[in-house]
Amino acid sequence: MYRIPHLDLPPLNTVSGRVRLPGSKSISNRVLLLAGLAAGTTEVHDLLDSDDTQVMLAALAALGCGLQRDGRVLRVSGLGGQLQAHRAELFLGNAGTAMRPLAATLAVLAATQGGDFTLSGVPRMHERPIGDLVDALRPLGCRIEALGRPGYPPLRLQGEAGGRLATAAPIRVRGDVSSQFLTALLLALPLASAEGALTIEVEGALISKPYIEITLALLARFGILVQRQDWQRFVIPRGSAYRSPGSLHVEGDASSASYFIAAGAIAAQGGAPLRIEGVGSDSIQGDIRFIDAALAMGARIQSGPGWVEVHRGRWPLAPITLDCTAIPDAAMTLAMMALYADGPSRLDGIASWRVKETDRIAAMATELRKLGAAVDEGPDSIAITPPPADGWRAAALATYDDHRMAMCASLAAFNGLAAGRRGPGCAVRILDPQCVGKTFPDYFEALFAVAGAAPHDVPVITVDGPTASGKGTLAAALATALGWQLLDSGALYRAAGLAAQWDGVSPDDEAGVARLAGLLDLRFGDGLEAGRTWLRGREITEALRLESTGLLASRVSALPAVRRALHGLQLAFRRVPGLVADGRDMGTVVFPDAALKVFLTASPGQRAERRYKQLISKGISANIDSLRADLEARDARDANRSVAPCRPAEDALLLDNSALGIEQSVQQVLDWWEQRRPFPA
C-alpha cells in the first residue's frame, strides 16, 4: 500500500466540535482472544479496526475461530478451549497485545492438546523482550524455543496431545518490565485449571496496574473470577472456563483520547469545548486518569459516561512533575503538553517506554529538542523545558514506526499559540504519518475535522486547465500524496446544472440557477464513501460524470451570478492541512494567493483521444472526431466567456502533460512544491 512519506501541518490555532474515538486497542485484543477461546458466539461491537487488531484477527482465523463482520459488529465463534488447528505460523506485526497473550495461550494449548506453533513479528517485535513470560511458562512444562535471540521473539511452541502441566506450584512472573506478561498468564492459564486452582505470584513491583484491571474486568465478563490478593498474588479458581457473554461493547481508546484532551487544553478557546465521545468517566481503562494530569496542568474538563469535554483553562499550562507508572502510554502526551507550560516539567516512572514500539524516552528527547525544547533524559524519566517564546523551530519530526510518536508530534503544530510568541507559528512535518494505523488509522482525519488554522496559513495548490486535460486525476493524486483536502470545482458547476435540470430551471436563467447554486445541498463522501457524491440526499456519482452534465455545467458556469453563488462554498474547502483545488479559475479568481499554481495543457487531439479511450473502456461507444469538436467548442466557451475565463494565472507554471504519465505529472508538481516550500531537514 502507498504510504505518504510525510505530512506537513500548518500552524494550528483552534479546536472545536466533536471527535468519535476508535475502540480501545487493549480491550479489543483481549476481547478477541477471550471470544476466540470461549464456547459459543460473541458479538463484539465497535471493535478497533487497526494494524494491531488485524494481526490478532488473522491469528484467530488461522486457529479455526469463525469470524463474521456485519457493519460495526463482529461475530466471533470461539474454540471452546479446544484447538482446531494444531499447527500454524502466526505473524503478529508489532502488536505486543497479540504476541504476549497468544504466546502464553498457545504454549499451554500445545502442551496439553498437542501442537506446533511459531509466532513472529516485524524486526522491532523481535527486539521487544518476552523472556520473563517464557521463564514463567517453562516450569509448567511448556516447550518454548526462542528461534532468534534468547528471550525475544520469534518463538516456537510445541507439545504432545495428552500432556499435563505442573500447576500445583505458584507460577512466578516479573511485574516490573511489562504488565503484559501477567496479563498473558491471566488470559491463558484458565485453560489449565481443570484439575485445580492456579496461583500466579508477581515478583518485583507491578507496573501499569490499570492494564491488569482491564484484564481482570474482561475475564469476569467471560465468566472467570480471578481472586486478587494485593497486586502480588492472583488465584484462578479450579475449573475456570471461558463463557461468552453473548454481546460486548468495546469502549473508545482512552490513550487515543489523550491527544484530543491535550489539543482542547491548548486550543479550545472561546465558546464551545472540544467534545470527545466513546470514552468517559465510566471507563475501565487506566489511561482515563490522564484527565487528572491534564487538570493539574490547567485544562478545564468535564466528563460523563462515554464523553469528555475539554476547554482551555490556565494559560500557559502549568508545569507538572508526575510519577506516570499508572498511565505509561498517555504520559507521552504530557511530554507534548509540557511544551506549552511556563516552566520545566518532569515525568518519572516511565522505564517501560524503553521497551515499547521504539525506545520512547530517547525518541521523545530527540524530537522535542528539534522543536527547540531542552530535554534531560534519565533511565526512567524525562525532564522538559519548553522552548523560549521565540525559540520554536520548524522541524521534521521522526516517528520511529510508533503510532504514539506520530500522534504526539501533531500537538507541536499549535506552537503559534505558545505564550509570549510574536510572529506566526511554524509548520511541523511528520515523517511516516501513517504509522498511526497501529491503533488509530484515521487519526489525522479526526484531528483535521476539529482543528482550525488561519486561512492564509493553509496552503493551496491550484490545478487549472481545459476539459479532459487530466487535471482531476492529477489533483486527486496530489491530494492523496500530500494528505490534503481536494476541491473538484467542476463538480460544483455540474451539480448546479443537475439541480437546475431536476427543478426544470433553464440553464440560461441566471437568477434561477444562481439561487439553486447558493442552496446546493451537496455531500462528498469520505472514508469508505470516498469518491461518491450526493445532491439533496440522492446519489449523483454517475450522473456527475456524464458528458451531458459537463455540457450543462459549461453553460451555467458562464453566468456571473452562478459563479458568485458558488464562491463561498469553494473557499470553505480551504481547511487544514492544505487544499488541492482543480478547475478553470482556481488560481486566477478563487485562490489568487495560492502558494503554487499549475496550468495543465495537452493538445486537443491528445485530450480527445484520452476521453475516447476512457469512454470505450466503460463500454460506451464514441466517435473521436465529434469528441474533439465538442472539446474545442467547450474550450472556446470556457476561454472566451466574460467572467473567469479559463486562462493561466500570470504566476502559474505550465505543465504540458501530452507526453507524461500521471505519475510523472504528480512528481513534477511535488518537485515544484518542494522548491516553493523547502522544509528544514
* Residue whose beta carbon is closest to ligand DC: 490
Among the listed residues 100, 128, 494, 607, the single contact to ligand DC using CB under 6 A: 494
Among the listed residues 553, 594, 631, 655, the single contact to ligand DC using CB under 6 A: 553
Q: Specify the stretch interacting with ligand DC by CB under 6 A; choose among 148-156, 264-272, 453-461, 580-588.
A: 580-588
67 neighbors 75 (Cβ within 8 angstroms): yes
Q: Rounded distance, CA 564 to CA 158, Å?
A: 73
User: Quick check: 583 binds ligand DC (CB under 6 A)?
Assistant: yes
Nearest distance from C-beta of residue 442 to ligand DC, angstroms: 28
Q: Specify the stretch interacting with ligand DC by CB under 6 A; choose among 397-405, 421-429, 528-536, 547-555.
A: 547-555
User: Quick check: 467 binds ligand DC (CB under 6 A)?
Assistant: yes
CA angle 264/265/266 to nearest 5° reads 90
User: Quick check: 638 binds ligand DC (CB under 6 A)?
Assistant: yes
Q: Is 135 a catalytic residue?
A: no
Residue 240 vs 557, nearer CB to ligand DC = 557
Three-state DSSP at 37 gives helix
User: Quick check: 557 binds ligand DC (CB under 6 A)?
Assistant: yes
User: Quick check: 584 binds ligand DC (CB under 6 A)?
Assistant: yes
User: Quick check: 597 binds ligand DC (CB under 6 A)?
Assistant: no
User: Quick check: 489 binds ligand DC (CB under 6 A)?
Assistant: yes
Residue 329 vs 464, nearer CB to ligand DC = 464
Q: How many residues sit in the footprint of ligand DC (CB under 6 A)?
A: 15
- Which one from 8, 46, 132, 329 is the annotated catalytic residue? 329
Q: Specify the stretch interacting with ligand DC by CB under 6 A; choose among 11-19, 146-154, 345-353, 546-554.
A: 546-554
For residue 203, CA distances in Å to 99, 174, 176, 328, 511 come to 21, 5, 8, 20, 80
In the region spanning residues 374 to 403, those forming contacts with ligand DC, defined by CB under 6 A, are none
Nearest distance from C-beta of residue 626 to ligand DC, angstroms: 17
Residue 41 vs 614, nearer CB to ligand DC = 614
Three-state DSSP at 2 gives coil
Q: Specify the stretch interacting with ligand DC by CB under 6 A; choose among 51-59, 343-351, 375-383, 581-589.
A: 581-589
Closest C-alpha among 220, 257, 254 to residue 236: 220
For residue 37, CA distances in Å to 77, 230, 627 come to 9, 28, 62
Q: Is the peptide bond before 680 cis (omega within 30 degrees of 0)?
A: no
Nearest distance from C-beta of residue 511 to ligand DC, angstroms: 18
Closest C-alpha among 237, 125, 136, 127 to residue 182: 136
For residue 535, give every residue at least 6 positions away whose Cβ sits within 8 Å of its Cβ, in sequence order, or none.
495, 498, 499, 520, 521, 522
User: Quick check: 574 binds ligand DC (CB under 6 A)?
Assistant: no
Pairing between β-strand 198-203 and β-strand 171-174 as defined by DSSP bridges: parallel
For residue 41, give every residue at least 6 positions away whose Cβ sits within 8 Å of its Cβ, in sequence order, or none.
66, 75, 76, 77, 78, 244
Among the listed residues 10, 22, 36, 550, the single contact to ligand DC using CB under 6 A: 550
666 neighbors 481 (Cβ within 8 angstroms): yes
User: Quick check: 126 binds ligand DC (CB under 6 A)?
Assistant: no
Cell of 41: 458466539
User: Quick check: 554 binds ligand DC (CB under 6 A)?
Assistant: yes
Q: Specify the stretch interacting with ligand DC by CB under 6 A; choose among 100-108, 342-350, 375-383, 548-556.
A: 548-556
Nearest distance from C-beta of residue 630 to ligand DC, angstroms: 11
Nearest distance from C-beta of residue 668 to ligand DC, angstroms: 20
User: Quick check: 635 binds ligand DC (CB under 6 A)?
Assistant: no
User: Quick check: 588 binds ligand DC (CB under 6 A)?
Assistant: no
Q: Which residues of 406-415 are buried (b: 16+ CB within 10 A; e: fewer)?
A: bbbbbbbbbb
Residue 261 vs 496, nearer CB to ligand DC = 496
Residue matched to cell numbers 467534545 = 275
Cell of 551: 455540457
Length of the chain: 681
Closest C-alpha among 564, 253, 570, 614 to residue 436: 253
Residues noted as catalytic: 329
Q: Which residues bind ligand DC (CB under 6 A)?
A: 467, 489-490, 493-494, 550, 553-554, 557, 583-586, 634, 638
